[in-house]
Amino acid sequence: MASEHKFLKFILPARAFEAVKKGTKQWLIECKCGHLRDFWDLGGVRYKAVGEPRQYLNCPECQKNTWHKIREKTEAEKLQV
């Protein structure tokens, strides 16, 4: 578990933590090269948020530091989890 999530689990009641986890699991982070990662697995927290922010990250696929797009998963991608 990511340290961000350990902290969340510590401060939130179990039900609230599960809700945040479920909400964040709807999101993924996408590199310009097309490499996709689960936002939750990266230690991300996204709950009842709107819009599509960006995050500057290193991509393990293309080995570059680029602005990654955070977006909601498509229906097909949600089913893969």
Of 7 and 67, CB closest to Zn ion: 67
Q: Does 59 bind Zn ion (CB under 5 A)?
A: yes
Order of strands, edge to edge, in the sheet holding 27-30? 36-38, 27-30, 65-72, 54-58
Q: Does 16 bind Zn ion (CB under 5 A)?
A: no
Q: Which stretch binds Zn ion (CB under 5 A): 10-18, 29-37, 46-54, 68-76?
A: 29-37
Q: Does 62 bind Zn ion (CB under 5 A)?
A: yes
The secondary structure element, H or E, covering residue 6 is helix 3-11
Residue 5 to residue 26: CA distance in whole angstroms: 16
- Residues forming contacts to Zn ion in the complex (CB under 5 A) are 31, 33, 35, 59, 61-62
